[in-house]
Homo-oligomer: A and B are copies of this chain.
Amino acid sequence: MKARQAPMSEQSPLDLAGDDPFGPHNLPYGVFTTADEPGRRKVGVRIGNHVLDAGAAAAALGSPYAALLGGPGLDPLLAAGRTAWHDVRRALTAWVTVPAHRATVEPLLIPLPAVTMRLPYTVADYVDFYASEHHAANVGQIFRPGGEPLTPNWKHLPIGYHGRSGTVVVSGTDVVRPSGQRKAPADPAPVFGPSVKLDIEAEVGFVVGVPSAQGHPVPLAAFRDHVFGVSLLNDWSARDIQAWEYVPLGPFLGKSFATSVSAWVTPLEALDAARTAPPARDVPVLPYLDDTAEEEPGGFDLRISVAVNGQVVAEPPFASMYWTAAQQLAQMTVNGASLRTGDLYGSGTVSGPEPHQRGSLLELTWNGRDALELPTGRRTFLADGDEVTMTAWAPGPDGVRIGLGEVTGRIVPAPR
């Protein structure tokens, strides 16, 4: 099979409906292989339900960006910096919209089902934040009923921690149920076995392109100079393992078995129309986190949807996040920690104020008290075979939607 041949339909894949969420206003980047060359990773750009072989297009059109788009990953493009990101995007826009390019570009469009999407860049460090006030308050109420829902530091800094970058996997990768120690408060000693509280966390991931030097904090205003784009992220979490291990040094094995990211990285420029003011802060912040004088609003109006076995269980609104991605970047580097190309940081679980806007089963079922009724049965936490799919969209220019793709994963049983 020659996967790269043009489809035989009458209509060109470039003749998208005006409201297609993967139209020319979007142009997210990914990395794919085809069945005839499974070892050759290529940079792709999604247009409708097709993938443009961007490296081949650049070569065919004599573009100066052929090296940045030549594969096997997005790393060179990420490292190239903001001016290059803009220029490459302008070139891509022309390739998929200017009629003169059509004869060259059309044969390089591959239907999505004919490609395998890969992890699109080398993940350097992975950091996870905890930036939704609603999520943090829900977790506080669940685990410390009667106490203050937020820890004293919560409104003074975006709390974060490092996760395991080696277990970040691309959407579609199966997730093996983790085993580990757990101990209910009444148990005399911990027991070992597969997690019985396997959960999701619906998050948005930010992908760093341009490095920074050790000893030099990155200020709020430099966010767009360093961050390339956005992906969806599911921070799989074993609540029982986490609960027993996390005092005093934080989550470790309860999170490190797998973190799934969407195959498509949406460039920040595609989200310009989605920038929005974050919620009002009711506690003053220190100057390095004070974004009230920033040119651009720090929030992103991303509408997330979480489905388990095809049924939507939550619709978390990213616009409700208390801390912004720029504040998280400033926090992560204020101690002089350097950035590398491929650093990934997660927003933390996105939960809105309403019950159906909660981005984890922990919150949706209130730690198992209120089961969800799905067509596939009652669920408190995830069962083997369950498939979780997060999707999202953002408002684009002229009323179009910008699709953020999806991140999906299926739970497979723990090895015996």
On A, residues with C-beta under 8 Å from B are: 124-125, 127, 130, 151, 153, 156-157, 159-167, 169, 176, 178-181, 183, 189-190, 192, 214-217, 238, 241, 244-254, 256-258, 284, 286-288, 331-332, 334-340, 343, 414-415
Determine how close the nearest CB of chain B comes to the CB of A160; give it in whole angstroms: 5
Residues A252 and B156 in contact, CB atoms below 8 Å apart: no
Residues B215 and A161 in contact, CB atoms below 8 Å apart: no
**Bound Cα distance A405, B77 (Å):** 39
Instruction: Tell whether A192 pairs with B250 under 8 Å between CB atoms, given A125-B165, A166-B338.
Output: no
Partner of A180, one of B167, B244, B335: B335
Partner of A286, one of B181, B217, B335: B181
Residues A161 and B335 in contact, CB atoms below 8 Å apart: no
Residues B257 and A335 in contact, CB atoms below 8 Å apart: yes
**Bound Cα distance A93, B179 (Å):** 43
- Interface SS of chain A: loop
Residues A164 and B337 in contact, CB atoms below 8 Å apart: yes
Residues A335 and B178 in contact, CB atoms below 8 Å apart: yes
Determine how close the nearest CB of chain B comes to the CB of A210; give it in whole angstroms: 13
Q: Which residue of B lies closest to A177 (CB)?
A: B336
Residues B258 and A214 in contact, CB atoms below 8 Å apart: yes
Instruction: Tell whether A162 pairs with B252 under 8 Å between CB atoms, given A241-B335, A245-B157, A337-B257.
Output: yes
**Bound Cα distance A415, B335 (Å):** 10
Chain B residues whose C-beta falls within 8 Å of the C-beta of A125 in the assembled complex? 164-166
Chain B residues whose C-beta falls within 8 Å of the C-beta of A189 in the assembled complex? 156, 284
**Bound Cα distance A151, B250 (Å):** 13
**Bound Cα distance A167, B214 (Å):** 7
Residues A244 and B153 in contact, CB atoms below 8 Å apart: yes
- Oligomeric state, in copies: 2
Residues B415 and A216 in contact, CB atoms below 8 Å apart: yes
Given contacts A160-B249, A246-B249, 15 further A-B contacts (CB under 8 A): A124-B165, A125-B165, A125-B166, A127-B252, A151-B248, A153-B247, A156-B183, A157-B181, A161-B162, A165-B165, A169-B214, A179-B217, A179-B336, A180-B334, A246-B248
Residues B130 and A249 in contact, CB atoms below 8 Å apart: yes
Q: Which residue of B lies closest to A250 (CB)?
A: B250
Q: Which of A125, A159, A162, A339 has the most CB of B within 10 A?
A: A162
Chain B residues whose C-beta falls within 8 Å of the C-beta of A179 in the assembled complex? 217, 334-336
Q: Which residue of B lies closest to A251 (CB)?
A: B249
Determine how close the nearest CB of chain B comes to the CB of A167; give it in whole angstroms: 5
Residues A337 and B253 in contact, CB atoms below 8 Å apart: yes
Q: Which residue of B lies closest to A157 (CB)?
A: B181
Determine how close the nearest CB of chain B comes to the CB of A183; give it in whole angstroms: 8
Q: Which residue of B lies closest to A174 (CB)?
A: B215
**Bound Cα distance A127, B286 (Å):** 30
Chain B residues whose C-beta falls within 8 Å of the C-beta of A343 in the assembled complex? 166
**Bound Cα distance A244, B190 (Å):** 30
**Bound Cα distance A183, B286 (Å):** 12
Q: Which residue of B lies closest to A126 (CB)?
A: B162
Residues A336 and B178 in contact, CB atoms below 8 Å apart: yes
**Bound Cα distance A246, B249 (Å):** 7
Residues B258 and A250 in contact, CB atoms below 8 Å apart: no
